[in-house]
Every structure is written in C-alpha cells, then in structure tokens.
Amino acid sequence: MKLWAAMLVVMVLIVLGGYYLESSILKTTDQISRTLNEVKESVRSDQWSAAERSTQKLDERWSACKGVWGPFIHNDDLETVTSHLARLRAFLEAQDKGAALAEITSIERQLVQLRQQEVLSLQNVL
C-alpha cells in the first residue's frame, strides 16, 4: 500500500511540474512576443535607442528562462532564439531596419514553434 501511495505522489508531482512548465512557457513567450512588438514598433519609427533598451531587457529575460528551461526543452531550439537575439542586437546597433525586422520575425516564428512543441496536446502526446 505504501508503494501505491508513493507512486501516486510521484505521478502527481510529475503532472504538476509539467503543468507549471507549460504555463511558464506560455506566459513567458507571450511576454517576449509583446516586447518584440514594442521593438518592432520602435524600429519602424526609427527609435533605435528604445529598441536597443527593450532588446537588452528581452535578452536578459531570455537568458534567465533558458537556464530554467534547458533540461526540458531541446537545446537547439533555445540556442536558435539566442542566436537570433544576438543578430537582432547587432542589426539594431547598425541601425539596419530591414534586417532587424527580419530577425524579429524569425524570433517570433521560433517562439511559436517552441510553444507548439511544448504545449500539451493530443498531437504532441501521440
């Protein structure tokens, strides 16, 4: 009977941990998407310093999330977003509007893909 109780506790912890991770991913990707929209609007209106500040904050937030998500998400996906953020910062420093907007779009697409891969759905389970 003790074994069944221990197994039940472990299963509940796994389910709750998965739910927490999923909600964390959804919340964080939504916040990052909103920040990317702010950066996009700053770039479109040639407010380069505001775009750089927002991107710096975004990069710091992403680094913190990457450390937490690392054991649970493919490192290639995390590194792809990291490299896109690095390129975005370089394009913002060079004030290259077209390339910066293209990198923002690439980051947005990667976040959507990350969300689709990690959210619990019947397609992902099967």
Question: Which residue range is the domain that position 86 belongs to?
Answer: 20-41+48-119
Does residue 114 form part of some domain?
Answer: yes
Does residue 86 form part of some domain?
Answer: yes
Does residue 15 form part of some domain?
Answer: no
Does residue 4 form part of some domain?
Answer: no
Does residue 13 form part of some domain?
Answer: no
**What's the number of domains the chain is made of?**
1
Does residue 11 form part of some domain?
Answer: no
Rounded Cα gap, residues 76 and 105, in angstroms: 18
Q: Angle at CA 58, nearest 5°, toward 54 and 60?
A: 120
pLDDT in tens, the chain (126 residues): 788 988 999 999 988 888 888 888 888 889 999 999 999 999 999 999 999 999 999 999 998 888 887 777 777 888 999 999 999 999 999 999 999 999 999 999 999 888 887 765 545 555
What is the pTM assigned to this prediction?
A: 0.81
Does residue 72 form part of some domain?
Answer: yes
